[in-house]
Amino acid sequence: MSSPTVGVLLSRVRVEEKLLLEELESRHVPAKVLDDREIVFELERKPDIGVDVVLERCIQHSRALYALWIFGIWGIPTVNSFEVADICGNKLLTTMRLIRDGVPSPRTRVAFTPESALVAAEELGYPVVMKPLVGSWGRLISKVNDREAAEAILEHKDVLGTYMHSIYYVQEYIAKPGRDIRAFVVGDETIAAIYRYSDHWITNTARGGKATKCVVTPELNELCVRAARAVGGGVVAIDVLEGAEGLLVNEVNYTMEFRNSIDTTGVNIPAKMVDYVLSVASVAAR
């Protein structure tokens, strides 16, 4: 059987996309770049775009979401699915799925007004963390140490403009040991993990956190695979906090960045991802 053609839906060719394209090329897998800035979806009919599976690598959540929805309607398999992007792109939906499936996560409250959000923060006990429901790279995430800070942050959020800032997601603050864990799940396996160290409470490597290898213990593997399944499965990166009572899943990312994790872990992450994409195409072709 000839190899399926992999459509790579992307916005920019970052290090990750280049590695994925190189991996496809090295295996002689036909690849077609679908630039989300140029693509036009003619909704009335499914076009022959000449791909058997789409690997979504958009930098913009909204573009990824709607493109995945359309591809799904057209019966073109995608990695990840619309469902996974929808859930992971929204912290509230993610948290609810984790709770539904019994995956430990920080205690979280959601409120719709600054006043009720303040009540939620007081009830959780300071410090708390306030996060926009949609967003990444640790942007606009606030650690709120007391009531006065909470009032200030809530006032700022109220005037930020977009309605999403008026959905208040308030979470207990987990005192981390100067690091958190980023684990990479592909299908039913946690293929690799790193510690992200930072003197700052935000440990994202996009924000300067330093990466070292983290051994994937059976406990970590099981937790992360459960978290991945809770959001719909596929290729996801799980952010895990080491709480006093055990590991907690903080977030699940569906267009995972891994440039700092290949050398650190010794795992060829793009190769594992391509394996998975090809397996999805193979299943769909049956």
Residue type at 54 in one-letter notation = V
Q: Which stretch binds another protein (CB under 8 A): 76-84, 131-139, 188-196, 240-248?
A: 131-139
Residue 123 is a binding residue for another protein (CB under 8 A): no
Q: Tell which one of 137, 188, 217, 263 touches another protein (CB under 8 A).
A: 137
Q: Which is nearer to another protein, 12 or 147 (CB)?
A: 12
Q: Tell which one of 102, 148, 162, 199 touches another protein (CB under 8 A).
A: 162
Hey, which residues does 109 pair with through a beta bridge? 170
- Convert 152-205 into a string of H (helix), E (strand) and C (coil): HHHHHHHCCCCHHHHCEEEEECCCCCCEEEEEEEECCEEEEEEEEECCCCCCCH
Give yes or no for a contact between 239 and 252, defined as CB atoms under 8 angstroms apart: yes
Residue 10 is a binding residue for another protein (CB under 8 A): yes
Q: Which stretch binds another protein (CB under 8 A): 48-56, 144-152, 207-215, 253-261?
A: 253-261
Q: Which stretch binds another protein (CB under 8 A): 39-47, 73-81, 252-260, 263-271?
A: 252-260
18 to 37: interface string for another protein, x by CB under 8 A: x--x-----------x-x--
Residue 2 is a binding residue for another protein (CB under 8 A): no
CB atoms near residue 273 (< 10 Å): 24
Taking the C-alpha atoms of residue 260 and residue 182, their distance in angstroms, rounded to an integer, is 11
DSSP string covering 69-119: HHHHHTT--EES-HHHHHHHT-HHHHHHHHHHTT-----EEEESSHHHHHH
Taking the C-alpha atoms of residue 276 and residue 159, their distance in angstroms, rounded to an integer, is 43
Closest distance to another protein from the beta carbon of 254 (Å)? 7
Q: Which is nearer to another protein, 61 or 120 (CB)?
A: 61
Residue 279 is a binding residue for another protein (CB under 8 A): no
Q: Which stretch binds another protein (CB under 8 A): 57-65, 70-78, 172-180, 261-269?
A: 57-65
